Amino acid sequence: MIRTLKSAPIIAGCALMSGVLFAPTSAYAKVIDISTPSTTLLLNATEGEPLQFLYYGNKLSPDEIATMGTASMTPLTAYPVYGLTSHSETAMSVKHPDGNMTLDMAVTGISTSSGADGSTVTTIAMNDRHYPFGIDLNYRTYPGDEIIECWAEAVNNGKRDVVLEQFSSAYLPIRYGDVYLTSLYGSWGNEGKVEEAPLTHGMKVIKNKDGIRNSHTAHSEVMFSLDGKPQENHGRVIGAALCYSGNYRLRIDTDESNYHHFFAGINEDNASYSLPKGERFVTPPLALTYSEEGKSGVSRNFHRWGRNHRIAHGNDVRKILLNSWEGVYFDINEEGMAQMMADIASMGGELFVMDDGWFGQKHHRDNDTRALGDWTVDTRKLPSGIGGLISEAKKNGISFGIWIEPEMTNTVSELYEKHPEYILKSSNREPRQGRGGTQVVLDMANPKVQDIVFSIVDTLLSKYPEIAYIKWDANAAIMNHGSQYLPDDKQSHMMIEYHRGLTKTLDRIRAKYPDVIIQACASGGGRANYGILPWFDEIWVSDNTDALQRVYMQWGTSHFFPAVIMASHISAAPNHQTFRSIPLKYRIDVAMSGRLGMEIQPKNMTESEKALCRKAIEEYKEIRPIVQLGDIYRLLSPYDKKGAASLMYVTPEKDKAAFFWWKTESFVNQQLPRVAMAGLDPEASYTVRELNRIDRRPLPFEGKTYSGRYLMSNGLEMPLDHNVDHDKRNEYASRVLLLEKK
Ligand code: GLA
């Protein structure tokens, strides 16, 4: 909810009244209240003065807001700009046409608008006191969601170009104290790892420069725990997620003031931007949230908003699929595809996805050195084409999906042979090539390339409307700085124009094909970002499918992203990335905590393994809405090294919950903590049922009923091992419990 407070003449400080919208007639001071159901962000907009930040935290009453408006101790600029206080970090800096490098912004107006999605945007307009340059700061809220999206727009009202050197989306001052930063870092095969550390003096920078895969090595989402070491289910936590598909930079400057100064936006390195006269530069939104229920509370806020507003089909449960990659890699053929389809259908799966290796007529895609760009079926491998595969899928009663990598080409491809001018490449230099020694990135700034990328999807989906799912991959960095399309004096726009071109193309695809499910894969988890998710339904968390390492990666990813987007597949043992042999039960129990799928050659599985998967798929269907659409409560972190990890999902009605517990270390007579549950209704009684059971005897609490209060204070005792025949014993143990309100 946004309460805009009526203007009144200023005598000293701020005048404040509840009421109607401001009409910009005379000098005024207004406290702008941007509220969600349980948070408040307050600004002080005084005409002719810099916009001030007053407060961000739990919800304030109107009386408290009035007090805040008049009793703010330290005036803090809501969006610091460069030039007149040049010793501080800033959100925006520009070069005016006459060479002046300063900004001096003052509030000129406030407005609100409503979106078709029920959102409300409050905009505070500021103009430079001398130059024809404006900054609009925007704050969007949605009814019922705890997120405030903030972004800045730079407006050039002059007659000549203004060069934007720095253009953060938003700034937030966080009171200096015992503040811990939680961030995600990693690399290929090791995405989404959690790092937590106190904020110390100096500058902490989290950034990405890959150009395309912006979440492998670092994430553009962070949490600030305000009460010391981060806790999952209590304590005050601010969450922030920059929603951008390209390069970003988050800065936290802890200086001599009483604040940690947090800035987030596009990474401006090598990307200064000439803003032509009369034009507006819109920065990507920073989604902010606040919770007093610890990090899990912040996660729930992000997940709900994400499902409601930032993820394609965010509130629809996903199909259970088999992806062909780890099963056959490039070795695609009709018989093999038919066998995999029959196998996944027989286990209760709902979708088969044919991965890489199906295309290329002149240059055959038998490995990763060729054919990206040539999206025609390799009829040597698939004589009946995609139509044949779709018929086969229908015969098996499942849907069909396909892998593409549309933003890329290989220098060994018909596309490159015909159009070398379509790739990103710097002038007078040979292009550096990536995967397979031949992969290069198409120039998405070029409208002709945008048409090509659109037509790749359009050709497939218009000819085969039965294609239900696309795995959209992106396996290269932008290594070569250079657009062959952009003029010489706009080369620094390349990174930004790439993402504008991509977004435009995705808009066209979604306008024509709103229903197709699209996975964002980028060498695994390279595109876990709310900047890409409006067009995508899910992410491939990692190319690493090792269940134990997935416990860590999915734990991290869940900080910001809901299970409905976390593709999590049962794969072979030994694992193809870690070579670790993990029993099938554990692999299933980990995969079931996300969007369950399989990434395996079923013909290499025994009948009893298939039977276990069949049972798991059947049981997953029961808990799928709880896991994919429920509220997460992380309980015991694998990063705490207590020997086990545990989390649960609870329906919003609190009538059902799915509890997951995985042992992460194995020692004889190990003492593991007993995990108290969370998120249940203390007054309700829940009956416990174990899923994926392999033990000879049921657990002592099987079928028993406990109060939510008991479960949240005591939890249930998880045995160290599984009660199975001696030759089946191993070092792993895991449990999945379904709790149903009686
Ligand atoms: C990337 C993806 C994999 C797979 C291969 C195919 O590495 O992350 O899942 O699709 O490409 O080449």
- Summarised one tens digit per residue, pLDDT across range 233-278 is 999 999 999 999 999 999 999 999 999 999 999 999 999 999 999 9
Letter string b/e over residues 93-124, b meaning 16 or more CB atoms within 10 A of that residue's CB: bbbbeeeeebbebebebbeeeeeeeeebbbeb
- Is the pTM of the predicted complex or chain greater than 0.85? yes
Over residues 399-451, the pLDDT tens digits come to: 999 999 999 999 999 999 999 999 999 999 999 999 999 999 999 999 999 99
543 lines ligand 1 (CB under 6 A): yes
pLDDT of 2 reads 38
* Residue 297 pLDDT class (50, 70, 90 cuts): very high
**Contact residues for 139 (Cβ-Cβ < 8 A; gap 6+):** 2, 34, 41, 121, 122, 123, 148, 149, 150
For residue 471, give the ligand 1 atom closest to its CA.
10
Q: What percent of the chain has pLDDT over 90?
A: 94
403 lines ligand 1 (CB under 6 A): yes
Cβ 505 vs Cβ 449: under 8 Å: no
Over residues 355-388, the pLDDT tens digits come to: 999 999 999 999 999 999 999 999 999 999 999 9
Paired residues of 672 in beta bridges: none
Over residues 596-611, the pLDDT tens digits come to: 999 999 999 999 999 9
Q: Ligand 1, from 329, 331, 356: best to mutate by most atoms within 8 Å of Cβ?
A: 356
Q: Tell me how far CA of residue 417 lies from CA of 357, 385, 422, 462, in angstroms.
A: 20, 25, 10, 26
Cβ 242 vs Cβ 250: under 8 Å: yes
Residue 136 pLDDT greater than 60, yes or no: yes
Distance CA 635, CA 645 (A): 8
- Token digits of residue 609: 């393994």
521 lines ligand 1 (CB under 6 A): yes
Number of residues that make up the chain:
742
In terms of Cβ atoms closer than 10 Å to its own Cβ (0-12, 13-18, 19+), residue 627 is buried
Say if strands 202-207 and 273-275 run parallel, antiparallel, or are unpaired. unpaired
Over residues 681-719, the pLDDT tens digits come to: 999 999 999 999 999 999 999 999 999 999 999 999 999
In terms of Cβ atoms closer than 10 Å to its own Cβ (0-12, 13-18, 19+), residue 330 is middle
* Residue 19 pLDDT class (50, 70, 90 cuts): very low
Give the DSSP letter of residue 475.
-
Distance CA 197, CA 209 (A): 23
Which residues belong to CATH 2.60.40.1180 in the chain? 633-741
Helix axes 607-629, 584-591, angle to 10 degrees: 20
3-state DSSP assignment of residue 289: strand
Paired residues of 735 in beta bridges: 661
- Token digits of residue 262: 């947090």
**Contact residues for 405 (Cβ-Cβ < 8 A; gap 6+):** 356, 372, 472, 473, 474, 475
Residue 538: its H or E element: strand 538-540
User: How far apart are the CA of 403 and the centre of ligand 1, in A?
Assistant: 9
Which residues belong to CATH 2.70.98.60 in the chain? 2-310
User: How far apart are the CA of 473 and the centre of ligand 1, in A?
Assistant: 7
Distance CA 321, CA 341 (A): 10
* Residue 75 pLDDT class (50, 70, 90 cuts): confident
User: How far apart are the CA of 523 and the centre of ligand 1, in A?
Assistant: 6
Domain 633-741: CATH superfamily is Golgi alpha-mannosidase II (2.60.40.1180)
Task: Give mean pLDDT, residues 451-464.
Answer: 98
pLDDT of 67 reads 86
Number of H helices, E strands in the chain: 12, 37
User: How far apart are the CA of 475 and the centre of ligand 1, in A?
Assistant: 8
Task: Give mean pLDDT, residues 324-339.
Answer: 98
221 lines ligand 1 (CB under 6 A): no
Residue 10 pLDDT greater than 80, yes or no: no
Q: Ligand 1, from 332, 367, 543, 598: best to mutate by most atoms within 8 Å of Cβ?
A: 543
357 lines ligand 1 (CB under 6 A): no
Cβ 600 vs Cβ 547: under 8 Å: no
Beta carbons within 10 angstroms of residue 712's beta carbon: 18
* Residue 1 pLDDT class (50, 70, 90 cuts): very low
Chain mean pLDDT for the chain? 95
User: How far apart are the CA of 634 and the centre of ligand 1, in A?
Assistant: 30
Q: Which fold has domain 2-310?
A: Beta-galactosidase; Chain A, domain 5 (2.70.98)
**Contact residues for 511 (Cβ-Cβ < 8 A; gap 6+):** none
| Torsions phi, psi for 561 (to 5 deg) | -120, 140
First to last CA, the chain: 36
User: How far apart are the CA of 524 and the centre of ligand 1, in A?
Assistant: 7
User: How far apart are the CA of 186 and the centre of ligand 1, in A?
Assistant: 18
| Torsions phi, psi for 740 (to 5 deg) | -125, 135
Distance CA 242, CA 412 (A): 36
* Residue 15 pLDDT class (50, 70, 90 cuts): very low
Residue 469 pLDDT greater than 90, yes or no: yes
- Token digits of residue 670: 């190990």
Residue 26 pLDDT greater than 70, yes or no: no
Distance CA 313, CA 629 (A): 11
Distance CA 525, CA 516 (A): 21
User: How far apart are the CA of 689 and the centre of ligand 1, in A?
Assistant: 37
Q: Tell me how far CA of residue 352 lies from CA of 149, 213, 337, 465, 664, in angstroms.
A: 37, 25, 9, 15, 31
Q: How large is the greatest C-alpha to C-alpha distance in the chain, in angstroms? A: 84
Cβ 354 vs Cβ 460: under 8 Å: no
**Contact residues for 169 (Cβ-Cβ < 8 A; gap 6+):** 150, 151, 152, 242, 244, 264, 265, 266, 283, 284, 285, 286
Cβ 44 vs Cβ 24: under 8 Å: no
Of 81-95, 365-379, 513-527, the poorest mean pLDDT is in 81-95
The residue whose CA is least distant from atom 7 of ligand 1 is 523
For residue 403, give the ligand 1 atom closest to its CA.
10
Distance CA 98, CA 172 (A): 31
Residue 380: its H or E element: none
Over residues 140-185, the pLDDT tens digits come to: 999 999 999 999 999 999 999 999 999 999 999 999 999 999 999 9
560 lines ligand 1 (CB under 6 A): no
Task: Give mean pLDDT, residues 513-529.
Answer: 98
User: How far apart are the CA of 375 and the centre of ligand 1, in A?
Assistant: 16
pLDDT of 27 reads 62
* Residue 29 pLDDT class (50, 70, 90 cuts): confident
User: How far apart are the CA of 212 and the centre of ligand 1, in A?
Assistant: 15
pLDDT of 68 reads 81
For residue 521, give the ligand 1 atom closest to its CA.
8
The residue whose CA is least distant from atom 12 of ligand 1 is 356
Q: Tell me how far CA of residue 653 lies from CA of 107, 238, 656, 681, in angstroms.
A: 44, 25, 8, 9
356 lines ligand 1 (CB under 6 A): yes
For residue 475, give the ligand 1 atom closest to its CA.
1
461 lines ligand 1 (CB under 6 A): no
DSSP string across 80-119: -BSSSSTTS--SEEEE-TTS-----EEEEEEEEEE-TTS-
Of 406, 399, 419, give the one whose Cα is nearest residue 457.
406
Distance CA 83, CA 73 (A): 24
- Find where tokens 């006191």 sit: 129
Residue 70 pLDDT greater than 90, yes or no: no
- Token digits of residue 334: 């009709």
Measured over the CA atoms of residue 20, residue 23, residue 26 and residue 28, the dihedral's sign is positive
User: How far apart are the CA of 368 and the centre of ligand 1, in A?
Assistant: 10
Q: What is the dihedral of CA 332, 337, 343, 349, to 10 degrees?
A: 100
Cβ 665 vs Cβ 643: under 8 Å: yes
- Token digits of residue 150: 């903030």
Residue 450: its H or E element: helix 447-463
